[in-house]
């Protein structure tokens, strides 16, 4: 699409991305650059696994780079006798992965994370991620589920592993279908090379 006027109808002119070709045509198709900040502005996102290694960093980066994000609902297992709020605000955002965000906001850090983040209780191994009915109602019109919950133990019980790593993504999809959200699923690919038999961590993998 050609921009109208000097700077185009939608703001200053941005150089076009490299042209790609449709598989069924020789005509080049220009794609606009991906503007993630604009795409996420005002969006409502649910993040799972935000108490974990990958999820903490992902959440901190999201909030640091895209402060215009609308709301981030954070699925948290409360722990015995606790609340999702106490665990998330008391033990998660106080951690080092949130240091860049803390440095950026200074004294306004607490207010910022309380404004953006809404901890909700849940468990990915349960239907609809185990989210209580009252919280499900708040998720109507959700834009995105970022699923980073996972069981990364090498020898969990089969039932536990299936519940988290197989049924968990299905339950996330179920929530997406109900709310209209898109799903980004964080996964892992183990590469074991072409060797046969057992594989030991100390042994060279052979590529």
Footprint of ligand NAP (CB under 6 A): 48-49, 51-55, 77, 123-125, 148-152, 164, 186-188
Minimum separation from the CB atom of position 149 to ligand NAP (A): 4
Q: Between 105 and 176, name the residue whose CB sits nearer to ligand NAP.
A: 176
Minimum separation from the CB atom of position 105 to ligand NAP (A): 23
DSSP for 79-115, written as a single string = -TT--HHHHIIIIITTSGGGHHHHHHHGGGHHHHHHH
- Is the CB of residue 109 less than 8 Å from the CB of residue 163? no
DSSP for 9-56, written as a single string = TTSS--PPPPPEE-TT-SSEE--PPP-HHHHHBT-EEEEESTTSHHHH
Q: Between 54 and 136, name the residue whose CB sits nearer to ligand NAP.
A: 54
Minimum separation from the CB atom of position 40 to ligand NAP (A): 21
Q: Between 123 and 143, name the residue whose CB sits nearer to ligand NAP.
A: 123
Distance between CA atoms of 205 and 188, rounded to whole angstroms?
17
Q: For residue 163, what is the DSSP state?
A: I
| Nearest residue to the partner ligand NAP, using Cβ | 52
Minimum separation from the CB atom of position 193 to ligand NAP (A): 18
Identify the CA nearest to 50 among candidates 106, 115, 104, 119. 119
CB atoms within 10 A of CB 124: 26
Minimum separation from the CB atom of position 157 to ligand NAP (A): 13
Query: By CB neighbour count within 10 A (0-12 exposed, 13-18 middle, 19+ buried), where does 197 fall?
Result: exposed
Q: Between 148 and 179, name the residue whose CB sits nearer to ligand NAP.
A: 148
Minimum separation from the CB atom of position 86 to ligand NAP (A): 13
Q: Which residue has the tokens 């996420």?
A: 40
Q: Between 42 and 132, name the residue whose CB sits nearer to ligand NAP.
A: 132
Q: Between 3 and 85, name the residue whose CB sits nearer to ligand NAP.
A: 85
């Amino acid at each position: 699409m050609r921009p109208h006027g000097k700077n185009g109808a939608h703001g200053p002119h941005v150089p076009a991305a490299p042209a790609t070709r449709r598989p069924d045509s020789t005509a080049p198709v220009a794609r606009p650059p991906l503007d993630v900040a604009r795409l996420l502005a005002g969006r409502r996102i649910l993040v799972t696994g935000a108490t974990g290694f990958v999820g903490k960093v992902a959440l901190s980066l999201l909030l640091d780079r895209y402060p215009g994000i609308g709301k981030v609902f954070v699925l948290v297992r409360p722990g015995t006798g606790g609340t999702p709020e106490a665990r998330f605000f008391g033990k998660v955002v106080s951690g080092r992965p949130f240091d860049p965000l803390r440095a950026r906001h200074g004294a306004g850090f607490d207010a910022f994370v309380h404004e953006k983040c809404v901890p909700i209780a849940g468990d990915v191994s349960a239907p609809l991620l185990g989210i209580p009915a009252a919280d499900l109602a708040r998720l109507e019109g959700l834009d995105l589920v970022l699923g980073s919950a996972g069981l990364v133990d090498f020898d969990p019980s089969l039932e536990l592993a299936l519940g988290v790593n197989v049924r968990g993504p299905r339950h996330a999809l179920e929530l997406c279908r109900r709310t209209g959200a898109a799903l980004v699923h964080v996964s892992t690919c183990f590469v074991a090379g072409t060797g046969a038999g057992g594989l030991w961590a100390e042994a060279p993998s052979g590529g």
